Structures are given as C-alpha cells and as structure tokens.
C-alpha cells in the first residue's frame, strides 16, 4: 500500500474525521476501516499507472503517489461512511489529475529516469502492387 491511515486522516476534514473516529469504538477499528480503503485506492492507482509504469511500484512510493492514494482512499472512505462522497469530490479529482500527470510525464518524481516501457506503436502499412510500381 502506498500510504498510511495517518495520511488518509490528513485528507479528511477535521469535523468529518472526528465523527468517523467516534463511530469506531474499538482500538484500531478506524485504522482497519481506512486500510481497506487504502488497499482499494492502491489498486486504483496501480490501474492508472500501469499504462506507463511497472506496478506495483517499489516502496517507499514517491510522495506524489502517496498523496494521490491518500486522497483517493479518503474519497472512498467518506463515500462508504456517509454516502456524501461529494464532500471530498475535490480530493478524487485532484488524485486523478495527479496520476494522469505522472502517466503523461512518463517518469516518477525523484527518479529522474524515464520509463522503459514503450507506449504506442505504428500503423499497419500495406504495400500493394500499385504502390510498389511507383518505385
């Protein structure tokens, strides 16, 4: 997983975080709840980054990946907790934009080395007799 439950808590609005934490009475229950959403968010991050990078990424993940994962996990957690995911829609939109920027750049922050995966390809070209006759 690319982030911690503490990272996700940092993405939650304080009143919402307090309300969510109060619902879980047992020790560690809130962290377990967040970790399930971190796992789902990590899968989403891998799905987006797989277009350019070999996933899963080696740990520790770059801070941009950690931040995007935390934002996405917070979005998932709020959606399940209160069914008002629009409260954190901005977190989801930012996470998606961050991940797409990494894919477009073709490199992860701090690595300085472009990806080795080849993206794209060429169109099939068919050389008919009429085309070859011109030569």
Query: ω into residue 6 within 30 of 0, thus cis?
Result: no
CB contact at 8 A, 7 and 70: yes
Q: What does the angle CA 50 – CA 5 – CA 31 come to, to the nearest 5 degrees?
A: 125
Report the number of distinct structural domains present in the chain: 1
Q: Residue 64 sits in which domain range? A: 5-133
d(CA 133, CA 78): 66
121 pLDDT band, cuts 50/70/90, is low
pLDDT at residue 129 is higher than 80: no
* Per-residue pLDDT tens over the stretch 54-98: 999 988 889 999 999 999 999 999 988 877 667 788 899 999 999
Among residues of the chain, what percentage have pLDDT more than 90? 52
CB contact at 8 A, 8 and 77: yes
């Amino acid at each position: 997983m690319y982030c911690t439950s503490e990272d996700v808590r940092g993405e939650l609005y304080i009143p919402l975080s307090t309300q969510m934490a109060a619902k879980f009475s047992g020790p560690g229950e809130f962290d377990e709840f967040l970790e399930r959403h971190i796992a789902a968010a990590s899968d989403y991050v891998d799905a987006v980054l797989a277009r350019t990078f070999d996933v899963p990424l080696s740990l520790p993940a770059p801070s941009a990946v950690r931040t995007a994962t935390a934002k996405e996990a917070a979005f998932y957690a709020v959606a399940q907790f209160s069914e008002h995911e629009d409260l954190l829609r901005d977190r989801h939109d930012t996470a998606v934009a961050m991940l797409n920027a990494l894919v477009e750049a073709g490199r992860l922050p701090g690595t300085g080395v472009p990806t080795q995966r080849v993206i794209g390809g060429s169109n099939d070209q068919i050389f008919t007799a009429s085309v070859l006759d011109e030569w």
